[in-house]
Amino acid sequence: MTRSLSDRDLLFFQDNGYLVVPSIVPIARIDELRRLIFRIYTKLVPADRNIPQTEPWNDPWFDRRLLDLRTENPRLFGSLYDCAQSAVAVSRLVTEPDVANAVAGLYGDDPQDLAYSGIMLRMDAPKDQRNVLSWHQDRAYYPQNLDGANGVVVTIALQDTSAELGALNVCPGSHREGLIEPEQTSKDDYETTEQRAVPQPLVDKYPHTIAELGKGDMLIIHMNMFHRSGTNMSDRFRFSALCRYHRIMTSDFVPFGLLYQFNDFMAERARRAGAE
């Protein structure tokens, strides 16, 4: 049986523009994905295949190895990221029946009437500044519904996610501002995240809350709500899986296609492996 949101949840979301739904994804499903990330890592770094840890994907040792790889071989680290993004396991996790049902429930829709985009696995490194998103609205990136009230972004925690680990910051009530003209900064390189920031004076009108999550919890955010990445002050990576949901049956829905971007580094590696 799928779970549904309570009237209290719906009211909270309408008032605040966000909602935490606890334990929406089975822990076993998350562990499978974390294990897959480790398996992709050992495909790229075979020397680490036979290490003694029983669950290396949960071990601080793996965080240190990831951090070393990110510093010493950013292209290979980026390739690990790209490979993991493409995994069916990520899409499955963020489109689990309970997840889609909860989102559809916000609108009284059938889950079949939802489109999705922007499925992402995030691996946020300790102390990283390159990929943190400053205060923004997802509607500024995702125009699939012209009215931001007809879409949400969901993020699912792949481990307990405290403020120290970089849990997202949200501005309750800011979804009522509608779409704001963002202050855009260009993306300097492949590894840096493009910013479409909400001007600070608007952000300062609202209180800030840190949305700490338990492993398997979901945070749902209205497309117009101001939110930002937290700063990961810990020495562990923050793993999360995200998806945007859009209402298909509303008159403001804009269908869309995807442009694929291929990883040159891995393409060259694959060509060389074929030639050997």
Which residue number, 40 or 154, has a Cβ lying nearer to ligand AKG? 154
CA 275 to chain CA centroid, Å, is: 37
What's the rounded Cα separation, in Å, for the pair 145 and 150? Answer: 6
Q: In the chain, which ranges are continuous DSSP H helix?
A: 7-16, 27-44, 60-72, 74-85, 88-94, 97-107, 200-203, 264-275
Question: Which H helix or E strand runs over 117?
Answer: strand 114-124
List all residues 6 or more positions away from 141 whose beta carbon is below 8 Å from its beta carbon. 118, 196
In degrees rounded to 5, what are phi and psi of residue 14? -60, -40
Report in angstroms how near the CB of residue 78 gets to ligand AKG at its nearest.
17
Which residue number, 21 or 56, has a Cβ lying nearer to ligand AKG? 21
Are 95 and 47 in contact, with CB atoms under 8 Å apart? no
Which residue number, 125 or 153, has a Cβ lying nearer to ligand AKG? 153
Report in angstroms how near the CB of residue 242 gets to ligand AKG at its nearest.
5
Radius of gyration of the chain measured on its C-alpha atoms: 19
Are 5 and 152 in contact, with CB atoms under 8 Å apart? no
What residue is closest to ligand AKG based on CB? 229
Which residue number, 61 or 256, has a Cβ lying nearer to ligand AKG? 256
Which residue number, 153 or 220, has a Cβ lying nearer to ligand AKG? 153
Report in angstroms how near the CB of residue 122 gets to ligand AKG at its nearest.
5
List all residues 6 or more positions away from 205 whose beta carbon is below 8 Å from its beta carbon. 174
Report in angstroms how near the CB of residue 154 gets to ligand AKG at its nearest.
10
The number of residues making up the chain comes to: 276
Report in angstroms how near the CB of residue 221 gets to ligand AKG at its nearest.
7
Which residue number, 87 or 133, has a Cβ lying nearer to ligand AKG? 133
Which residue number, 48 or 147, has a Cβ lying nearer to ligand AKG? 147
For ligand AKG, the binding residues (CB under 6 A) are 122, 124, 133, 138, 153, 155, 168, 227, 229, 240, 242
3-state DSSP helix/strand/coil percent for the chain, to nearest 5? 40, 20, 40
